[in-house]
Structure 1
Amino acid sequence: MKLLTIAVPSYNSEAYLERCIESLLPGGEQVEILIVNDGSKDRTEEIGKAYEAKYPGIVRVISKENGGHGSAVNTGLAHATGLYFKVVDSDDKVEINAYRKVLKTLERFSKREEPVDLLLTNYVYDKQGVRRKKVMNYHGALKKNTVLTWDDRIRMNHFQYVLMHSVTYRTEILRQSKLQLPEHTFYVDNIFLIQPMPYVKTVYYLDVNFYLYYIGRSDQSVNESVMIKRIDQQIRVNKILLDIQADYESRGMLAKRNLDRFIFQYLDMMMCVTSIMLIIAGDKESLAKKKEIWDYAKKVNPGYYKRLRYHVFGITMNLPGKGGRWLSVHGYKLMNKIFGFN
């Protein structure tokens, strides 16, 4: 068994795939690198096959019909042989010194009678054209270098958001949660983060800047104009997350206060982002969609809706009239300027 499987969803990635794979190869024989070629029309498969031939037993190419990012992650997970599983997008990369520390940490976990379920690490916003890079860390949120449970203090603030880039799951946790991401849908990384979380019993925070998250390309899904264009997919993911939360709550799986708070803060931020994109779009149809997503939250779980709606973000996103929407947008733009998240 490999120590770590790294799935690399790849679609028309010829311009940056080599940079990504070169950053992963120092993991050597401990690591399985699965390049999931998601129906690319360019040289992605050719580049991947060259690495597969040069590094047999380390790099493997899995080519499939186009199904979107979620489908590629599903395929990677289905073929994973590693004790742990991480997704690295083909336009991103990892930092080598942090990578070595991550592997040493996972190796220690593998020797435990009960291996740790979730490794949390920092990521860096590697924004195109910006010299000073924003690091997302979890200082003060949880104790470093310690195996924790949800009974321990794990409390991120709203601006210490955990993304797929932060997490390395024990592979069996993902399989226990029956994770199956929707196909042909953007933003499913949010489901990847939330659906397995109640199955996680132990968490470990390694304070290293492991993942370099490249943002700033005009065609990226986190680009503001692209998010507005694809807002229906964002809404779909929001609804799936609301359904997941309601299901877990009904089954008593969110009894741990810190776990419940973690998921609440995440959904709070998701509802905020979706709402602000619809407010920025500003037309009648978009504002109707904004009302509809909040109505859906109320229908699925009325009590949880009240928590979301009357928390600071929910209040801010639902300020009445043009003046209220103006305040919402300018508050968002200020936060974006400070944190640089798209």
Structure 2
Amino acid sequence: MANQPEGDGPDETRTDGAEQPRRTVITFVIPSYNVEDYLGRCLSSLLIEQQLNDVEIIIVNDGSTDGTLALAREYAGRYPQIRVIDQENKGHGGAVNTGVANARGMYVKVVDADDWLDQVALRNVLAELRRQADSPAPVDLLITNYTYEKQGKRIKQTIRYAGVITPGRVIGWNEVRRFRPDQNLLMHSLTYRTKILREKARLELPEHTFYVDNIYAYAPLPQVRTLMYLDEDLYRYFIGREGQSVQKDTMIRRIDQLIRVVQLMILATPSRDAVPEGLYRYMIHYLTINMGIDSVFMVLSKDRENYRRKDELWRYLDEHAPEAGQAVRHTLIGSLLTVPGPVGRGLIRVGYWFAHNVFGVN
């Protein structure tokens, strides 16, 4: 029984000297592939107290060929709250799937092995999650801030939501205000109630596919009824190491995977009357951003075949989610992205230049 994931139920972790089982409040899932140089920093940021009886850390070793597995097992031998799952390589999505499927925590948060959490913010977040675990109606989604830790950059950019969501209150989607284009709910900002992912959304990310974190941050949202925002700079998102999937040249090479991910997002988009208006508005916002990312990199590739595929992707949106397609096209970003021909491609290149050089967007 102790080896079975419990989600919202009790598990076998006990308080010192107590007979009754203690609920695991949160599971941190750490997908890990060839990250021996970074994993220790990530784990150290989570191990903030000597006694974390209600915290679980699952390291999913995704077929690493370096010393990642040995390091993970070393930590697991020293800290009882750490579990290691070793599997053949399935990609980031496959590692997240494994972690979520095995999570015992009432809540789950994915922390990539080359990222880390701020320890002061983590203490405050854990305190709130413990309050939620004791509540008769625990919140479905906890939102926190994330900071871009760009290698070589002294000034850090933190994405916050205080102008969009009132901090410290349990609310519904219709109390969420409009997001700015650079203000998105990424995997880094989300802590889901485990049963939202496992039982309600039944989330299964595609394997051997990059950028699936966009699906993770999008597809389950219609199952979220209540949310809370804590104005805590919790997640430190490390950018700049060689070969990282968000580098410009890397994203152009992986156009196929960008397209696949946004197509899955299109298929996961609900009709407007199926969800609260505030949620539908946000999902159109985030879908527009991802349609923009795909369109931009297809244009930046300077490949005529990718120009054709850009047009095909917009047709896919219109065919599979016509209501959402119309809403996306009516946004300012959507209208600029769909200007046809060389003029449209020129607008996209100029827009990318400003976003990259003036606003610091990748």
Q: What is the TM-score with the length of structure 2 in the denominator?
A: 0.90
* Residue of 68, 90, 95 corresponding to 2:113: 90
Residue aligning to 2:85: 62
Aligned to 1:7: 29
Describe the SS at the equivalent of 2:168: coil
Output the CA distance in 2 between the equivalents of 1:116 and 1:226.
37
Task: Show the 5 A alignment for 1:1-342.
Answer: 1-26=23-48, 28-56=52-80, 58-175=81-198, 176-245=200-269, 248-249=270-271, 252-254=273-275, 256-342=276-362
Contact 1:117 1:201 in 2 (8 A): yes
Please give the alpha-carbon distance, in whole angstroms, between the structure 1 residues aligned to 2:232 and 2:240: 23
Any idea what SS the aligned residue of 2:146 has? strand
Give, in whole Å, the separation in 1 of the partners of 2:329 and 2:282.
17
Alignment check: 8 A CA contact 1:142 1:155 kept: no
Q: Contact 1:134–1:339 at 8 Å: present in 2 too?
A: no
Code of the aligned partner of 2:203? L
- Greater helix fraction, Structure 1 or Structure 2: 1
Q: State the alpha-carbon separation in 1 of the partners of residues 113 and 60 from structure 2.
A: 10
CA distances 1:85-124 after superposition (whole Å, capped 9, x unpaired): 0000000000000000000010111111010111000000
Instruction: Report the alpha carbon displacement of residue 322 of structure 1 after superposing the two structures with TM.
Output: 2.5
Q: Quick check: 1:173–1:196 contact (8 Å CA) kept in 2?
A: yes
Amino acid at match of 2:162: H
Distance in structure 2 (CA, Å) of the matches to 1:154 and 1:37: 39
Identity of aligned residues (%): 44
Report the AA paired with residue 4 of structure 1.
I
Deviations 1:24-46 (A, max 9, x none): 11152221110000000000000
> What amino acid maps onto 1:138 in structure 2?
Y
Number of residue pairs matched by the alignment:
337
3-state SS, counterpart of residue 194 of structure 1: coil
Equivalent residue of 1:36, what SS?
strand
Any conservation in 1 of the 2:271–2:323 contact (CA below 8 Å)? Answer: no
Deviation at 1:319, TM superposition (A): 2.5
CA contact (8 A) 1:7 1:34 kept: yes
Q: Residue 211 of structure 1 aligns to a residue in which SS?
A: strand
Q: Taking structure 1 as the reference length, what is the TM-score of the superposition?
A: 0.96
Structure 1 residue aligned with 2:17: none
Q: What CA distance in whole angstroms lies between the structure 2 residues aligned with 1:317 and 1:54?
A: 52
* AA matched with 2:45: S
Shift, 1:286, TM fit: 0.7
User: How far apart are the structure 2 equivalents of 1:311 and 1:143?
Assistant: 25
Question: Which residue identity is paired with 1:273?
Answer: I
Q: Shift in Å at residue 312 of structure 1?
A: 1.1
Partner of 2:237, secondary structure, is: strand
Superposition RMSD in Å: 1.3
Query: Structure 1 CA distance, aligned partners of 2:182 and 2:207?
Result: 29
SS of the equivalent of 2:53 reads helix
Deviation at 1:304, TM superposition (A): 2.0
Q: Which deviates further from its counterpart, 323-332 or 86-95?
A: 323-332
Distance 1:282 1:218 in 2: 23
1:28-74 per-position Cα deviation (integer Å, ceiling 9, x unaligned):
22211100000000000000000000012x11110000000000000
Contact 2:93/2:209, CA 8 A, preserved across alignment: yes
Question: Is contact 1:11–1:39 with CA below 8 Å preserved after alignment?
Answer: yes
- For 1:35 and 1:340, the matched residues in 2 are separated by 32
Q: Distance in 1 between matches of 2:233 and 2:303?
A: 40
How far has the Cα of 1:306 moved from its partner?
1.8
Deviation, structure 1 residue 200: 0.7
Gaps of 5+ in 1: none
Tell me if structure 1 keeps the 8 A contact 2:55–2:105.
Answer: yes
Structure 2 stretches lacking a partner, 5+ long: 1-22
